[in-house]
Structure formats: structure tokens, C-alpha cells
Structure 1
Amino acid sequence: MKIFCSKDALLSGVNAVQRAVSGKSTLPVLQGILIVAEQQSLQFAATDLEMGIRCEVPAQVTEEGTVVVPAKLFSEVVRKLPETTITLEERDKTITIYYHQSEITLNGYDPDEFPLLPDLMDPISFTLPTTIFKNMIRQTVFSCAIEENRPVFTGTLLQIEGSSIRLVATDTHRLAYSIAEMPNPSELQFSGIIPAKTLSEIYRLLHEEDEILTISSSDTQVVFQFGAIYLVSRLIEGQFPNYKQVIPQTCETKVNLSLKSFLEAVERASLLSRDKSGANIIRINVEKTELRIDQTSELGKISEQIEIKMEGKDVMIAFNAKFLIDALKVIDSEQIMFELSGPFSPGVMRPLDNPNYLYLVLPVRTS
């Protein structure tokens, strides 16, 4: 294998795939990046057997070939290369990098041992604008569980029905729901749980210039294609909970308030709400035309008042401050409606100007 390309091309290929490299695999070759030189491009690929990413960059190929390079070392070397034309040559599982009058040789792995990323057989496929999907990920993926003892909660439910696409994420303490319209002339249907890591990676890799995203799926895997990126991921097995049963259809109190004012007040109150156990609980009192947060701890005390418009009953309720802040940071609206039904029922936040998003959060019982 012998190719010429720019440092930028190498770097974009490495950056695209390196998060799929396995960190703790018993197979050493999975700690590498597969590089394939053919026609006039370089193809980079990495996988941890749960998720795989392939990316193509332009190059001048004078001799086709394949090599697997150690991911961490190769990416660090590429970052430190000068801005000049780089030559890569592969011989007997080693790769030599030439630049100016200098060279670096790295020992690689056997390409025959590298698992190929699958191309799905007879998949069902959908396309939609990348900006829509990227925003849906941003507004939901943070609600996935981190602990892996119940795998279905570590992913986001993706549903496509008719002309609607839905993302739903929950860690059992909160739930984020986003829905959007998409073209689906064939009325194809899909429902699958996608690992949070996969969606976070798609969010990182999607750029504005990648206008269209193609989603293809089989029973066990899903593929996302956009720009020069091909990303394949396993689907999480199991039954996602019936989220529709969890979302309250009525409420006793409706609070219309400024998102910015509420976010800033909660952030300030949370500074004084951390107790010895590490909990970060704030108490909210909704009364007539104001929402009050009074916080007292061994660190000091704070009293916040926000003007609101309210319908229904006065209410006192406590929440984990982090769960409120996470949602308030991703809602794109100046005003929100906060729906409450007493101190023991979930609160539901909705952007006033967007009926396609909601965030449900369970209260904290306090003594």
C-alpha cells in the first residue's frame, strides 16, 4: 500500500472513527483502526463489536492495500504531524509515515483478524434532514440511564410510524420525549432501542453540511449514513416501557414562566442545596403570581422569587436540581409551561411554542 494525502484528511478520518475503538477488548486488533486504500480514497474503520464507524477521505492512491494501525498511537502521531503532504506505506503489517525528510514506522495488527462492519441485508430505510434528528438527540439522550443493570434504559427508543419520528429516553426518574415530521411515502414502520453511546456519537459527527441522514435497520442492527460516515450499531434487546401510560393527561396546576429566569434561579439555588449525602434537592413553592425557591443548608441560604402566570391550585414540591437544569438547558423556547399535580406526582415541562417536546420529572419526597 502506498498513498499520498493531507494531514487534514488523515485527521478527519481518525477523528471520525476513533470513538468506536474498543477500550477493553480481549481482541488486540479491536484496539486498532483499519485503513483501506482503494481507487482514490482512504477508508477508515473501527469497531468495539457494539458499534462500528466507517469514514472515507480523499487520497492519491498509487498502490492499494490494507493495514490495521494502533488507534491511540496513530491518532497522536497524526495530530503532531506538520502541515504538509503525508505519504503512507504499508509493508508486512507495519506502516511508515513520511513527511518532509522524516519518517515514523508503527507496528500494526493483522488485517485478516479485523471484523468487517456488516452491510445490512434487505434493510428498511428512511431519510430525514440531519438538523431535525440532531436536535431530537440533544433534547432526549441525556435522560438515558448510565448504570447498565437494566439495559433498555441505557438507550433511546426510536419509533417511526406514518410521517412521525419519535425519540423517547428515560432512566425511570425522568423522561424526555421528542417527535418530528418526516417523509415516509411507503408507510414503513420501525421501533428499536438505540444505545445512548451510538446517538451521542451521531450527534458529535453530524455537521450542518450533511443535509440528509439515512437510517436503515434490520431486526438486530441499525445503520446511520450521512456525508462520508457509515455508522452501524446493535439494537438493545428488551421491551421499552409503555411511556404513554406514564405521561399525565391532566394536571392540577399550570405554571407559565420564563425559561431563562427559572434556569438561572435553579442553578443558583442548587449551589446551596448539596447536602452531606450528595443529594441536590430544591424545594419549589408555587403560590398565586410567584414561584419561590427557598433553600437552607449548612452552606447558607437563598430565597429566589420568579413572576409567573398560574392556573389551578397552589403547590409545594421538591425536585433533584440537576434533573431540572438538564432539561431547561436543551429546551429552545423563551417560555415554558410547567404542569404539576401536588407534591407526589410527576411534573411535566413543555415549551410554550413547541407541542412536539415534553420532559417529565418525578418529584423527591422530603420529610
Structure 2
Amino acid sequence: MKFIVSSSVLLKQLSSINGVITTNPVVPILENFLFEINENHLTITASDLQTSMITELEVESKESGNIAVPARILMETLKNLPEQPVTFTIDEDSYSIEISSDNGRYKLAGENATDFPKVPTVSDDFSVDMSTDVLASAINNTIFATSNDELRPAMTGVYMNLTDTNTTFVSTDGHRLIRYRRVDVASDNGNAIIIPRKALNLLKTTLPSENINVSVEFNVSNAFFKFGNIKMICRLIDERFPDYENVIPANNDNKMTIDRSEFLSSLKRIAIYANKTTHQVRLKITGSELQISAEDLDFANEANERLSCEHDGGDIEIGFNAKFLIEMLTNLDSKKVELMLSEPNKAGLLTPADKDDNEDILMLVMPVMLNNYV
């Protein structure tokens, strides 16, 4: 079996799906790409059993067949070859692969393609279309707040709830919660799924920069994403997601509006002086002034800054983990942000002051109890 393909085109397609492959997979065959040739059509699959990615490209060939090709050695070879047509010659009896280029010949040992796990198919149970911009925005705004705690698997992914009026994406790690809602994505046959973090990270790096349509289909066990010539199938997290709406405090009498970049810069400076374990910063709002302070008693480090803000409500003093606030403010892109508070022991809500008509984003962060040193 033989086919000819451009080295740079093949490398680009392999790079887009290579992220799925792990260094020590459960099954050794998963260290390979699955190549399936049907005349001038090449389909390449990479998988880690939980997630599979598939890409397709045109090649010069008159034959059909399949082979498992070692991923690492093939990627390294193509990265170091200049752009040129390369010829793959595959011995279907010994599974040996020979790559011929202008520079020379390279032989590597392939494996029997029949050992490669079958990719699950997703019957068209539920489906929704969204643009790559919407999906990328949903991933970027939620993925950083997913949990690493394998004992609470539901929180290691992003919850996606489809209704006939909107789609809501939610992530939480128990210390903070992000609710990202889009009114321009809806589905009549509403449903809710939890998508694993790894699959979303792969999507994030693979989504093209141009704004194209992404087709999402899912059933009870798998989700299927398709855009351009890339397909991704991932196993869903079969767990119950926490009742997040009950966590969001309803009456927040204290509202502070402040310039996002000023607030972020100040927090980054103050955080340097915070305790390295708790990362605690103290926010004290009095009138139209915000005082941000931190201290590390172990090293006698302390810092404080004052910023002007718009404030509606009584004076309040509250502690937060600076890392969480910094991450949230970095992910927002509005000029001003609103911080809504009720009491020093209740969660704070961070939202953009200027909202997009199609999106609604709410970030919740739990407070850190203050030691009242003054």
C-alpha cells in the first residue's frame, strides 16, 4: 500500500489531533495514529480511550488499507523535514512503514490497525450548532475554575445546560463558581451534560481562529464536536452536577464598580506580599475608596494600596484569595467590573459592568476569613 502527501499538510493535520495521545497510555497501541486510506482519502485517528480526535485530508493513492503509525517518531520526522511531497510505502504483512523524501528514506515499525480501539459513534440524540467564537469564549471563561479533585468527578468538567431559550456553561471547584450563559445558542430538545476538562482543553487549542460553525451532538455517554475537517468524540462525566443556583447569593446590598485593569494591577502587586499558603488579601470599601492590603506575618511583609471606585452600600471589609480574583479579572475583558457583596462571610459576585447582549457572565468567589489584626 502506498500514498503520497505533502509533509507540511500532514504535519499540520497531525498537530491538531496529537494532543490526545498520552505518553503512557492504558493500551500501548494508543501511542500510534490510526491511518485509514480509501483511495485518495486519508482519515487519521488519535485516541486515549476517553477522547478521540479524527482528521481527514486528500492524498495521492489508488489503494485502500489501514495501519497504526507510531505518533512520536512520525511527528519528529515531519517537524524536521522541509516542505516537500513524501511517499509512504506500507508492507501489510510485516506492518513496516517506509517514508521516502528528497532527503532520504526512513523506516519505522507500525502495528496492526485492527488492534486500535473502535471510536464510539454518537447517534443523533441531541444536537446544537454554535460558532467557534462562542464555544471558545465559553471554554475560556469556565475551564480555569474546574476542580482537580478526582473524588468529586462532576466538578472536574464543565456543565453545559441546553434549554429552548439559552445555553448555560458552569464550572466550580468549591472555592469559586463561573456561570456563563449564551442566549444566541438554544435547543428545543433541552438537555444537560458534563464535558471533561481534557476534552475542552483539546478543543480550545484546536479551534480555528476564523469563526466557523461547530456542530455538537451528544447522547447519554458521549459528545461529538465537528468543525472544518476535525471531529472530536469524548466520553461524558456521568455524575450529578452540584445545585449551583442555590449557592449564588440573592441579596447583595453592597455594590462596587471599579476599573478592571487598575484593580487587577493592584491585586497583582499586593499579592506579592500575601501569605504564600492562603494568598489572602483584604478589601476594605469605605465611601468611594477601596483599600487593598495583605500581610505575611511569618516574614513581616505587608503592603496596601488605595483605589477610587463607585460604591453603593455600607462600609465593608472582606478577605479573598488573591489568586482567584486575579484569574477571574484576567478572564473578563470589560473596562469596568462590578463586585457585589452582602456580608464578610458570604460569597462575592464579580460581573462585567458593560455586558454583551448575547452573553451573561457571573463569577462567584468564596471569602477567606480575616484575622482582625489592625
Structure-1-length-normalised TM-score: 0.95
Q: Is the 8 A contact 1:125 1:214 kept in 2?
A: yes
Question: Which deviates further from its counterpart, 101-110 or 131-140?
Answer: 101-110
The alpha-carbon deviation at position 223 of structure 1 amounts to 0.5
Structure 2 residue corresponding to 1:163, chosen from 162, 165, 176: 165
Q: 1:311 to 1:146 in 2, by over 3 A?
A: same
Aligned to 1:285: 284
Paired residue for 1:57?
57
Query: Cα offset for 1:38?
Result: 1.9
Letter in 1 for 2:183: E
CA contact (8 A) 1:9 1:58 kept: no
| Aligned partner letter, 1:284 | L
Deviation, 1:315, is 1.1
* Letter paired with 2:54: R
Q: Deviations over 1:289-326 (max 9, x none)?
A: 11111223326332211110001111111111111111
The amino acid that maps onto 1:294 is: S
By how many angstroms is 1:274 displaced?
A: 3.5
Residue of structure 2 equivalent to 1:105: 107
Q: Equivalences for 1:148-187 in 2 at 5 Å?
A: 148-182=150-184, 184=186, 187=188
The alpha-carbon deviation at position 101 of structure 1 amounts to 4.5
2:140 to 130, 138, 141: 138
Query: Kindly tell me: are residues 41 and 115 of structure 1, through their superposed partners in 2, closer, same or farther at Cα, counting changes over 3 Å?
Result: same
State whether residues 270 and 282 of structure 1, in contact with CA within 8 Å, keep that contact through their aligned partners in structure 2: yes
Q: 1:78 to 1:210 in 2, by over 3 A?
A: farther
Equivalent residue for 1:87? 87
User: Which residue in 1 is equivalent to 2:66?
Assistant: 66
8 Å contact 2:124–2:217 — kept in the other structure?
no
Deviation, structure 1 residue 141: 0.8
Shift of 1:129: 1.4
Name whichever of 336-345 and 89-98 sits farther off.
Answer: 89-98
Q: What is the 5 A alignment of 1:182-331?
A: 182=184, 184=186, 187-209=188-210, 211-275=212-276, 278-297=277-296, 298=299, 300-331=301-332
**How far is the alpha carbon of 1:29 from its aligned partner?**
0.3
**Percent identity between the two aligned chains:** 28
Match of 1:62, SS?
Answer: coil
User: Letter of the aligned partner of 1:359 in structure 2?
Assistant: M
| Residue aligning to 1:351 | 352
- Equivalent position SS for 1:139: helix
Distance, in Å, in 2 between the alignment partners of 1:300 and 1:135 is 38
2 CA distance for matches of 1:307 and 1:154?
Answer: 38
Distance 1:282 1:77 in 2: 50
Write the letter of the residue equivalent to 2:144: F
Residue 356 of structure 1: SS of its match in structure 2? strand
Contact 1:158–1:165 (Cα < 8 Å) also in 2: yes
Rounded to whole Å, the distance in 2 between the matches of 1:128 and 1:319 is 35
- One-letter amino acid of the structure 1 residue matched with residue 223 of structure 2: V
Give the RMSD, CA atoms, in angstroms: 1.5
Q: 8 Å contact 1:210–1:226 — kept in the other structure?
A: no
The TM-score normalised by the length of structure 2 is 0.93
Contact 2:273 / 2:301 at 8 angstroms: preserved in 1?
A: yes
Instruction: Write the letter of the residue equivalent to 1:339.
Output: M
Please identify, of 325-334 and 114-123, the stretch whose mean Cα deviation from structure 2 is larger. 114-123
Equivalent residue number for residue 14 of structure 1: 14
- Deviations 1:191-242 (Å, cap 9, x if unpaired)? 0010011111111111133510100001111101111111001110111011
Cα distance in 2 between the residues matched to 1:123 and 1:103: 48
1:155-177 deviation per Cα after TM superposition (whole angstroms, max 9, x unaligned)? 00011100311110000110011
Which amino acid in structure 1 is aligned with residue 197 of structure 2?
Answer: A
Q: Secondary structure at the match of 1:360?
A: strand
The whole-number CA distance in structure 1 between the counterparts of 2:102 and 2:152 is 53
Q: Aligned partner of 2:291: which letter?
A: R
Moved more, 133-142 or 10-19: 10-19
Equivalent position amino acid for 1:154 in 2: T
Q: Contact (CA 8 Å) 1:2, 1:65: kept in 2 or not? A: no
1:131-174 CA deviation, whole Å, 9 max, x = no partner?
A: 11111110111100012111001000011100311110000110
The answer to whether the 8 Å contact 1:210/1:227 transfers is no
